[in-house]
Amino acid sequence: MIPEITKATVESLYMIFVSGLLSIAIGMPLGILLYTFSISRRLTSIYRVMDVCVNIFRSIPFIILILLLIPVTRRVSGTIIGPNAAIFNLTVAAVPFFGRLTENALNTLPKGVSDSAQAMGVSYRQFVLMVLVPETLPEHILNASVLLINLVTYTAIAGAVGAGGLGQLAINYGYYRFQWDVVLYSVIILVLISQVIQLLGTRVAKILRK
């Protein structure tokens, strides 16, 4: 029993962190673009289009998104089951989510601080890299922990359709064989993972918030 639980835990962690990193790497620039278009006078129409797209993606329930993505997943991952296929699904679902979180975090930058950077003649690149992101860094850390915790849940859902990991373990043993102890261990491990992520996120954000 123990080797199976360990294997499932490693699979879950693998799916959570790889899709987490991918979602941050893609979602953060998306959020920066959303912010940039929303404050720009000329490009607000682009913002409206992106805004609607993000909302549509976010309102599709994850399990349905997996179904809709099946043809694409097969193309991208070569298969529709297993951790790698799940990572693709998880990333597609999490990118718009993290993009929105990032946009909200960037909106906490006071207008005056942005003005004073403009008054110093910063370029767009300098503004993003030296002012916008560093000034809102604690918020991004908290967002990353929210994202990862959401991915814990999503990973378990993906387990129901063959992704592997703790979710699938719990369903296979609990739902089909009534071995409730396996379900219990899975839940405990999932809760622990979430707690650690949350604690770390809060701690780091607090240190960064001066």
Residues that bind another protein (CB under 8 A): 110, 112-113, 115-116, 118-123, 126, 130-131, 134-135, 137, 208, 210
Query: What minimum distance in Å lies between the beta carbon of 123 and another protein?
Result: 7
**3-state DSSP call for residue 101?**
helix
Q: How many of the other CB atoms lie within 10 Å of CB of 55?
A: 11
Closest distance of CB 105 from another protein, Å: 13
In the bound state with another protein, the residue whose beta carbon lies nearer, of 20 and 31, is: 31
* Coil/strand/helix, residue 107: coil
Phi, psi (degrees; rounded to nearest 5) at 108: -80, -10
Closer to another protein at the Cβ: 87 or 144?
A: 144
Burial 74-108 (b: 16+ CB within 10 A, else e): eebbeebebbbbbbbbbbbbbbbbbbbbbbebbee
- Cα distances from 86 to residues 25, 30, 105, in angstroms, run 18, 22, 28
Q: How far is the CB of 126 from another protein (least distance, A)?
A: 6
CB neighbours of 7 closer than 8 A, spacing ≥ 6?
Answer: none
Q: Which is nearer to another protein, 61 or 134 (CB)?
A: 134
Q: What minimum distance in Å lies between the beta carbon of 144 and another protein? A: 17
Of 45 and 111, the one with the shorter C-beta distance to another protein is 111
Cα–Cα distance measured from residue 87 to residue 25, given in angstroms and rounded to the nearest whole number: 14
Shortest spacing between CB 165 and another protein, in angstroms:
37
Would you say 44 or 116 has its CB closer to another protein? 116
